[in-house]
Amino acid sequence: MLLKLIDDICDLKPLILWGTIYYHFLQNQKLMDIPSLVPGRKVDLKRYDEMIRVARNNSFHKITDFKRTLQIKLPEDAIKSTTLTIFSVYSDKSGNKLTYKDKEIVDVLKDFYRVEEIILPDEFWEKNYGVMKATNDIFKATSKVLRILLQKE
């Protein structure tokens, strides 16, 4: 995460953290407002990341909107002009292959997947907006602290 990069800036880290600690606290409070992220007393950032990632992937993959895996039984004569190549030279591992008519189309279709569907409630997204705003405030505060530290007198 970009926030981790900012926090890991060598010797400036303690100075930057002290200059922005208030904003880190506010961000933590916003994260704690999301009920599903606080199993105990500490916010589960891995769970937060997973929730956002799955929701994003789910939205992206809505192009095909399949709810379950499809298994299509092909007629016996569906695969034509079949060639199996084996025992190719070890350095050319891609030499072993099965080729057949329309293989390119099958290769494209094999790359279609669906993702598990997790629908996050509107309340999550409303509270997540507060988290994003708080994160943006940390970036602004970090920029301000860095400018102060770099001022020449």
- Rounded distance, CA 145 to CA 101, Å? 63
Q: What is the pLDDT of residues 53-93, one digit of tens each?
A: 877 776 665 666 667 777 888 888 888 888 888 888 888 87
- What are the Cα distances from residue 5, in Å, to 8, 21, 34, 35, 136? 5, 16, 24, 27, 14
Q: What is the pLDDT of residues 15-31, one digit of tens each?
A: 888 999 999 999 999 98
Q: Please report, to the nearest 10 degrees, the dihedral formed by the alpha carbons of residues 79, 83, 87, 92 taken in order.
A: -90
- pTM of this prediction? 0.58
Q: How many domains does the chain have?
A: 1
Domain that holds residue 22: 1-150
Structure tokens at 3: 């926030």
